[in-house]
Amino acid sequence: MPNHGDWQFSIYLEGLTGVRPRLPMSYAELERRAQEVMTEEVWSYVAGGAGDERTQRANVTAFDRWGLVPRVLSGAAQRDLSVELFGTRLPTPLLLAPVGVIGICDRDGHGDLLTARAAASSGVPMVASTLTQDPLEQVAAELGGTPGWFQLYPPNDRELTESLVARAEAAGWSAIVVTLDTLTLGWRPRDLAIASFPQLRGLCLANYFSDPVFRSRLAAPPEEDPQAATGLWAALFGNQALNWDDLAWLRSLTRLPLLLKGICHPDDARRAVDAGVDGIWCSTHGGRQANGGLPALDCLPRVVDAVADDVPVVFDSGVRSGPDVAKALALGAAAVAVGRPYAYGMAVGGQAGVEHVLRCLLAELDLTLAVDGYPGVGSLRPDALVRLDR
């Protein structure tokens, strides 16, 4: 299998005949192009964060405080980017993070299906949000042989939660990721300024509107009275005040690997593992939910140290480049999820845009390893980094 970085040579060769890349090659240009094509409402939702967005920015700049130490004569002509998660060998350490409006980042409104197809094409697993434009069964059917995980926002209705998990397992999703930091919506001034919350318009609610338990709570089907269905969703979403005693119930719902997303404190990580959780997801929701906190990258090493070596810690928040991925892996992440970059890729180029973003990230990660002398992601450990702000 060729190195991912070899892709750059095909770009240079095409340049000899006057062909230049149609899609952006830098994150800054990708973001600029996405803003041009997204509606104001979708742009606000995806680009925005909580409060004055200080934590959102901190998630990004936290990577600047670490430098990768170059090594030489290490035999890095060929690089192995593969990782193992829950007994499955994946070709790369990337995951497509759950994005609750990815469905409407596509101009035709089927971004979840396109993301699944991009996952199938690239081998990068998709973590599908509970908030999709197309039902989870249809999204899973597009994954081909690539694994997919289902992210769950537990509603304030246990029977509905149980139904969503059962549907995900039956549809072939291979893990359940429970998001813990969305008991309620964070303070998001961008969305508030334009009085926009897409789900209250009935968008990205296909998993609820198609669910038999949810439908049984309605006087009329969502197709006949979408306003009432949306109102019921609003009453149920984000009001499930989970506590540690509920973990046994969540664990009992599925035989699939169970991960908890939003864990940033080592004590919480230990307690989760003690309760039977299979994986930890260290995240600050990209700075979208709470402002004034730590960047997730600063939390990652302590969370990793708190759990056993056989408990994988997934990481997201602020990842914008291949070196960012390398640094998160060196600090102990078993896999790294990207969110905003591929949402922008979807807006700019649909499925091809998502695949392009993944190709750029993997090429830059691969070339970073090559130039700095690391033969694979398995050789990235804490001693590969030096803290720059001490």
pLDDT digits (tens, 9 = 90+) for 163-193: 999 999 999 999 999 999 888 889 999 999 9
Residue 390 has pLDDT above 80, yes or no: no
Mean pLDDT (the chain, rounded): 96
Cα dist. 5→102, 174, 274, 366 in Å?
27, 29, 41, 6
3-state secondary structure of 378: helix
Given a contact cutoff of 8 angstroms between Cβ atoms, the answer to whether 92 and 362 are in contact is yes
pLDDT at 127 over 60: yes
| pLDDT surpassing 90 at residue 240 | no
Helical segments of the chain, H only: 7-15, 27-37, 40-47, 54-61, 102-105, 111-122, 136-140, 158-171, 189-193, 206-209, 212-216, 226-236, 247-252, 266-274, 296-306, 322-330, 340-372
Alpha-carbon dihedral angle through residues 98, 349, 11, 2, given to the nearest 10 degrees: 40
Model confidence at 239: pLDDT above 60: no
Active site residue 285: yes
Give pLDDT tens digits for 64-110: 999 999 999 988 899 999 999 999 999 999 999 999 999 999 999 99
Q: Which of 4, 110, 265, 285 is catalytic?
A: 285
At residue 97, the pLDDT reads 98
Residue 74 has what pLDDT?
A: 85
Residues in contact with 60: Cβ distance below 8 Å, sequence separation at least 6, in sequence order: 318, 320
Percent of the chain residues past pLDDT 90, beyond the cut: 95
DSSP string, 65-86: GEEEPP--SS--SS-B--EEET
Q: How is residue 258 written in tokens?
A: 């169970």
What DSSP string runs through 328-340? Answer: HHHTT-SEEEE-H
